[in-house]
Structure 1
Amino acid sequence: MPRHIYQLRVSLAEVSPPVWRRVQIPGGYTLDRVHRVFQHVFGWQDCHLHSFEIDGVSYGVPDPDGELVLRDELDHRLDAVAGKGSRFHYTYDFGDWWQHDVTVEDVFAADPDERYPLCLGGERSGPPEDVGGPYGYRRFLAALADRDDPEHSAMLGWVGRAFDPAAFDATRATTLARRMS
């Protein structure tokens, strides 16, 4: 039986201009592996909690205190919870609340000559960790773009590296996703 590949479009909600990725992931990946692919193609560092909400069911890392009702993502494969045309949400960092809208664009047999996961494309750099969610990211971008902004220097120092919000490299995203997932 051939391996099935899921082509997903993953977009950050409430971020403009849009930040999105198109990835191909084996349907046999458990949701924890899907999470790791998303982390790397968006440039996140996996420092925070996350969850998936698919058809009204939440999946993630079980909460030992039982405060969050989540099904264990290690026990659920992508191909068991989603199909072609499915839409679901992936949320990263419950403080900043980065919600990602995910659409299963296609499901097809794996190309035996291709390695997966694969990032086919996307737009714009993923926001830095702990920037404050969509509102904080808008404020961060405004401060970076305006040398006269009172927070310009502080934001440059905080991010600690050159940050180009328009930059995205699908080849690098693929390399990181393959290495880390």
Structure 2
Amino acid sequence: MATRKTAARRKSKPKHAYRLLVKLEGSEPTVWRLISVPGHMTLADLDRIIQAAMGWTNSHMHLFAIDGNLYGLPDDEWIDDKPVLPDDEFTLDEVVGTTVKGFLHEYDLGDGWHHDVTVQAVELPDEGRNSWPMCLAGANACPPEDVGGLGGYEEFLQAIGDPSHEQHDAMLRWCGGPFDPKSFDINSANRAIRDWLSERL
């Protein structure tokens, strides 16, 4: 449920629009997306935009590391030296501003998908051009959910790429059919972002 503070921020106008290059660390071929996000959106919103653009399904926890602070879903049972701040209470305008040049987004704390996020540009908001989140470009498919991190993904690609591999048929069934690691459809990425936006409103 949105708090009054969060709801008020959603109605506020952005101070900036951010062009962010999101790269999945260690992926081969490199999985990347270029996204544009208005600054009044929260870090929780940014997590869902990254997931939609990449192809993740919001099935796991996430975490941001920005300028020495951690943002995500605070968990009283998870004891750490640094507290996790609630990411639905901080906007990009507040946290990234005009000085932060890059940060880390981790999705699925078990498989450990680390996204290196580079701030490529901080623009003035333009209602007709960058006032809504969108995917501008990208390359290569993100790994399937629960594949087992980078090591599991490498084994998965070996299995589906070799019809003689003992796990070939099992992996095809598991992922629901053929998988092309070099595929990327910008229309599907933006459709996923629009679907999330419609659910959020």
Aligned AA for 1:38?
A: I
Aligned to 2:6: none
1:172 pairs with 2:188 = yes
Q: Which runs of 5+ in 1 are unaligned?
A: none
SS at match of 1:116: coil
| Correspondence 1:79 to 2:93 | yes
Pick one of 161, 169, 172 that aligns with 1:156. 172
Shift of 1:165: 1.3
User: What TM-score, normalized by structure 1, do the two folds share?
Assistant: 0.93
Structure 1 residues 7-22: aligned runs within 5 Å: 7-22=19-34
Higher alpha-carbon deviation: 77-86 or 169-178:
77-86
What is the CA-CA distance between 1:35 and the residue it aligns to? 0.3
Deviation at 1:85, TM superposition (A): 5.7
Distance, in Å, in 2 between the alignment partners of 1:97 and 1:108 is 31
| Paired AA for residue 117 in structure 2 | V
Distance 2:134 2:154 in 1: 29
Matched residue type, 1:152: H
Moved more, 70-79 or 162-171: 162-171
- Say which is worse superposed, 157-166 or 43-52, in terms of deviation: 157-166
1:62 and 1:31 map into 2 onto residues whose CA distance is: 13
Q: Structure 2 residue aligned with 1:97, among 112, 125, 132?
A: 112
Contact 1:84 1:104 in 2 (8 A): no
Q: Residue by residue, what CA displacement relative to the aligned partner does 1:21-71 show, whole Å, maximum 9, x if unpaired?
A: 000001111000000001111111111111000112110011132425300
Measure the CA separation in 2 of the matches of 1:77 and 1:2.
Answer: 9
Does 1:54 pair with 2:69?
Answer: no
How many correspondences in the alignment?
181
Cα RMSD of the aligned pairs, angstroms, is: 1.6
Contact preservation (8 Å) 1:19, 1:126:
yes
Report sequence identity in percent.
Answer: 41
**How far apart are 1:73 and its partner, in Å?**
0.3
Structure 2 residues without counterparts, runs of 5 or longer: 1-12
SS at match of 1:153: helix
- Determine which of 110, 118, 129 is the counterpart of 2:125: 110
Provide the C-alpha distance between the structure 2 equivalents of 1:2 and 1:142, rounded to a whole number of angstroms: 45
**Runs ≥4 in structure 1, deviation > 3 angstroms?**
none
TM-score calculated relative to the size of structure 2: 0.84
